[in-house]
Amino acid sequence: MADEVEDQVEQALNLVVCTTEKNSNMKKELKQKILATVSTLRALFVKLKDSGDKKTSEINNLTK
């Protein structure tokens, strides 16, 4: 299930990037802000996943 959510988040972020890059009416500054925000969100999702994986590992070690 976690992998499915991860894939959905990645697809959503990719859609934002593609839409931003294809939009010719958008100002360059706005495009850069959107792309930077997507990059930040990706980094935060990685941290969340790593944190969750670490907690899962700790729980598994405690229950052995």
pLDDT by residue, tens only, the chain of 64 residues: 778 999 999 999 999 999 999 999 999 999 999 999 999 999 999 999 999 999 999 999 998 7
pLDDT, residue 3, reads 85
pLDDT at 37: 98
Tokens of 19: 């839409």
- What pTM, to 2 d.p., does this model score? 0.83
Output the pLDDT for position 15.
Answer: 97
Contact call for residues 23 and 32 (beta carbons, < 8 A): no
Task: Read off the amino acid at residue 31.
Answer: K
- By residue count, the chain amounts to 64
Q: Which residues contact 35 (CB under 8 A, 6 or more apart)?
A: 17, 20
